[in-house]
Structure 1
Amino acid sequence: MRVPPMLPLSPKNKWRYGLTALACMPPAALTFEKSLALVDKGAVSTDKRTHDARTLADGWDITLWHRLPAGGPRAFASVAVWRYDRRDQHDFRWRDDLLVLGFHVGIDDTPVRDAPARESWTRFLLELGDILQPDFMALDLYDEFMNRKGTDLTQEVFAVSVYGPAMVSAVGEGRLRSLPAPRIEARPWGAITVRATDAISIAADPLLRQKILNAL
């Protein structure tokens, strides 16, 4: 059994060093309606529902909440939602005409060794992707994205990669479905999900990462 990679021992920012999903799309694709659906997917006070959606659609960051399985010490965990559409030290864009929307799980809530909790988080983040329907979306540890900052993320391999319909057409559905990944699944909106690993990060298996990369 492969051992998942170690997390940073003393991260400077706990909101950005855990499980992360980056959704890549044209800026105009993040409409108020999609922002409202994102807010509705999490738990939010009714009086803040529209306010949070407008805040995100208008270009600012918000916080979502994910309901945790019953029986644990807490009912919810927060997810920091960051818009990467401006030049700063955390800009994950590789083109100026692109919006990268980041969903950041705190390191304390990142399930490194808890497989059921990890699957719950993966389902939640993929369901956010179903709302956004981005051209490309990836799930992995934050450091995996930071190591590739400024590069075309669609040409990289992450723990989970979601190829929207336009990407499926560009890459080829047959090619994506034949990738040497453990699981390849279809999303209801025409996207294809490539699960390269069930671990928290593809960093746990660099040989498989390279094998999939060579086949892309």
Structure 2
Amino acid sequence: MAGNRDTKPRGRSNGSGGSDSAFSFGGGSAGVLAGAALAGAAIGIAANVGRKLFVQFSTGATGDWCDALKAEHQLTRTIFDKIEATDDSQGIMRGHLLMKLKYALTKHANEEENVIYPALREANMAHDADALNGEHGYVKTYLYELETIANASPEWLARVRDFRTMIEEHMRMEEEEVFPAFQKALTEAQNARLTSMMNKEGFKMA
């Protein structure tokens, strides 16, 4: 209760006869501001973590690593659909969609190159891992070309279609051949660990 509170002044006076505290204003406002800053930083960090989690799992990746990669493949197809629906007068829209495509593919490639392909090599599937990893180099080449070609030209959209043909074959090989064969060789614990490792990798770029 107020009657039992220690009334001795603590430190510098706030100029009105009262003592400094975390709840005083004026001269004692430094504590309030510091506390607010820390609280604001904590909220900001929490919001950023929440955003990253949303981005990482917004593709519908509620299953294991294979389901997650398939969902990301589908997201890529959806972006290609939107790009191909544009015409030469929609340069700004094409630029925006290309940025989305590049981000999605870069995040996806990091997950595969830093987690999945190394695991394939450990499982004596180095040939498949190296072939798939090599195709990622062509993905980077296509993205570079699409950023340098004028996107208001028919040549740009033609290059997009070539890119899609190449990457859809890459995704088909992963979804129908390499990943199912690899997953059959995994124990439940290995599959769960791989899922956790891949989600952590994706979280870095979310």
Considering fraction of residues, name the structure with more strand: 1
Considering fraction of residues, name the structure with more helix: 2
* Same fold, judged at TM 0.5 (above): no
TM-score, length basis structure 1: 0.24
TM-score, length basis structure 2: 0.25
